[in-house]
Structure 1
Amino acid sequence: MMIEIDFSSDEAIYIQLTNQIIMGIATSRLQEGDTLPSVRQLADTVGINMHTVNKAYSLLRQEGFVTIDRRRGAVISIDVNKRKALEELKQNLMVALAKGCCKSVSREEVHQLIDEIFDEYDENR
């Protein structure tokens, strides 16, 4: 698993880490049952604090992307609650679309962008 942190970004490091793991799942680079590196191992590899990795893993657990097992550590385990996932997606999209509207992004441009993203995910499955 390749993690790249942009230390100059305004986005918190734990959020970058969380998002990259979610993208790994969406593009099938990470599969159900895969074990993520230990907190210490990932922190050393990426060059970040262990507490930052722990915070990202906790968020992934809360959002239903991993389970934490005492022996195996963080394991990819997708929560199949589609209704909950759709509600979370709706909330995130509302903010993203509001930002786009403020920048005069059209409905057609949004649809095209969504199609491009779905095509990318379909290619990797």
Structure 2
Amino acid sequence: MFIQLDFESKKPIYTQLKHEIIAGIAKQKLEAGEGLPSVRSLAADLGINLHTVNKAYQQLKQEGFILIHRQKGVVINPDGVTPADEDYHAELKDLLRPSIAESVCRGMSEEEYLSMCRELFKEFSEGEEK
């Protein structure tokens, strides 16, 4: 699997894992209906606690990225992720606000910020690897 975790990062491991799986879906490395390793298997492969994997999986399930079946195991949501709605737009705006504020404080121009956003968006929408 393509998951890379930074054990020295301030970001919690479960958050990194969750983001790596979402990135895999966005880059089409993980297809709708495709199975993911069990909690125990992925924890062993990555060398992390199974409760960490379980927390990431539960958040992904809650957000609609995966389904967890007793017999089938963990699968990427075969119906795809719920499209962005007004609630998602409001949540995204709340997430971007501190990032933009910090960028302004650090002297970053609007064009620099938007250029970086375009580059990242292109990376995910075209499935590129950076």
Give the TM-score of the pair, scaled to structure 2. Answer: 0.86
Q: Is the aligned partner of 1:36 residue 2:46?
A: no
Shift of 1:38: 0.3
Count of aligned pairs = 125
Residues 55-93 of structure 1, C-alpha deviations (whole Å, 9 max, x = no match): 000111112211111112221113324204333322221
| Structure 2 portions without partners, runs of 5+ | none
Distance, in Å, in 2 between the alignment partners of 1:101 and 1:65 is 33
Corresponding residue number in structure 1 for 2:49: 49
Distance, in Å, in 2 between the alignment partners of 1:64 and 1:91 is 20
Comparing 96-105 with 79-88, greater Cα deviation is found at: 79-88
Identical-residue share of aligned pairs (%): 45
Corresponding residue number in structure 2 for 1:106: 109
Residues 20-78 of structure 1, C-alpha deviations (whole Å, 9 max, x = no match): 11111111111111111100000000000000000000111112211111112221113
Comparing 62-71 with 51-60, greater Cα deviation is found at: 62-71
- SS for the counterpart of 2:75 is strand
Aligned CA-pair RMSD: 1.6
Give the TM-score of the pair, scaled to structure 1. Answer: 0.89
Distance, in Å, in 1 between the alignment partners of 2:88 and 2:75 is 19
Stretches of 4+ aligned residues off by more than 3 angstroms: none
